[in-house]
Amino acid sequence: MGSKKRSRTVQEPVEPLKNSVDWESEAAKKKTKLNVDEEEEEESDKTLLPVETLTEQITNEDFRIVAGSYERILYGVNAFWETKKDNELSLRLEPVFIFPAHTGCIRTVAVGGSHLASGSSDEVIKLYDLKKRKELGALAGQQQGDINSIEFYGKYMLTASDDGTICIWRSKDWELLKTMKGHQGRINSISIHPSGKIALSVSADKTVRLWNLMTAHKASVHKIGKEGMVVRWNTAGTQYAILFERQLIIYNVADAQPAVTIDSRTKLLSMEYYKDTNTDKEYLVVGSEDRSFRVWDAETGDKVAEVSQHKMRVKAIDIIRTTPREGEHEPVDVLVSVSSDGMMKCWDLQKVITSKGENMTPLGEYDAKCRITCCTVNLGYKVPKQSEQTEAAE
């Protein structure tokens, strides 16, 4: 992963992934249909949770948390802003769907547009339409081993698995466009650059690989000496962070050299970048084995906050910016942290930083009563009432 090659890859004026894909014509050579059997097709109108059972409150969520579990169950939990008497905000969390989605542990979940995808140790990718609340089917047979990471960008989806491959799918018809090969071990995590032109992946082969998404070929490879567990681009796309078992390293894109190194005594499990729009500062939020999540200054590597309010390890985190619809409130950056004991907790991330994590109270929480392994968060969809659907049909 030489410095000159990496710099050119990011700065070349190439059309982004969502507008131009050289390899899309190859799809005709490899037709991959969505795996839906005849019985499922006959029940195509079946929803994850029948719309007629939904209350008015559940059809107007502010945002939704989707979590997968070791017990193969997929959870959808809707979040609603509420204002207390003292004008303080809180969140009410209510489940909207709970069902067994896979035959193996759910390893990853991701949302792109109205699509939800979940990957599992059963080697299957399940697909859902969140807006219509319907299961679309499954993608299977193209990758071997656990599906460990799923990322959406525009109308495309990337999936990474134990067999060391990354598949590129088109979400319009779920056609497999290309399979990228190169890693010699399982791929733990992938991350798409904000431009959509390139992507990074980390693997058990102790390398980080840069992929050119315009050509669907490897651009460069860099030996990092140990297994990377999570990789993430920063919001500007000028740096990327790799989470190791007990270390976090931030690299510069220009020369692929470490800019910041953070060591940890406890095992690190999850990581997301966060940019505070009020201060324009960038942070890394990291969940760990010791039941805590910490916030680190991405520029200096200093710890700015620590919250230890989970009873078990913080398995996954995600961040969403949402504005309460009632009253005069500014947008809130909500951090969702989930732990192996089944607890989902929501936090005001700016308050976490300003208070250094001391005396924090969650905005809201929900107990799934299972071993949660992954989560993602997306803004809510408004589902019409049953009466409105009937009128529209007539």
User: Angle at Cα 272 formed by Cα 185 and Cα 222, nearest 5°?
Assistant: 35
Q: Tell me what pLDDT residue 329 has.
A: 84
Under a CB-based contact definition with an 8 Å cutoff, are residues 140 and 147 in contact? no
Q: Domain 34-41+61-182+261-393 is of which CATH architecture?
A: 7 Propeller (2.130)
Instruction: Report yes or no: 268 and 234 within 8 Å, Cβ to Cβ.
Output: no
Quick one: CA dihedral 178, 183, 187, 191, positive or negative? negative
Residue type for position 115: H
Dihedral Cα 256, 261, 266, 268, nearest 10 deg: -30
Buried b (16+ CB within 10 A) or exposed e, 147-173: bbbbbbbeebbbbbbbbbbbbbbbbee
- Classified as helix, coil or strand, 369 is coil
Report the chain (394 residues): mean pLDDT per 10 consecutive residues. Answer: 36 36 42 45 38 45 95 95 87 94 97 95 95 90 96 96 97 95 96 96 97 92 96 96 98 92 97 94 97 97 96 97 85 97 97 95 96 94 47 44
pLDDT in tens, 87-110: 889 999 999 999 999 999 999 999
Q: How far apart are CA 339 and CA 373, in angstroms?
A: 8
In 3D space, the residue among 166, 257, 253, 172 whose CA is nearest the CA of residue 213 turns out to be: 166
Name the pTM for this structure: 0.84
Rounded CA separation 195/272 (Å): 18
Q: What share of the chain is helix, strand, coil (3-state, %, to 5)?
A: 10, 50, 40
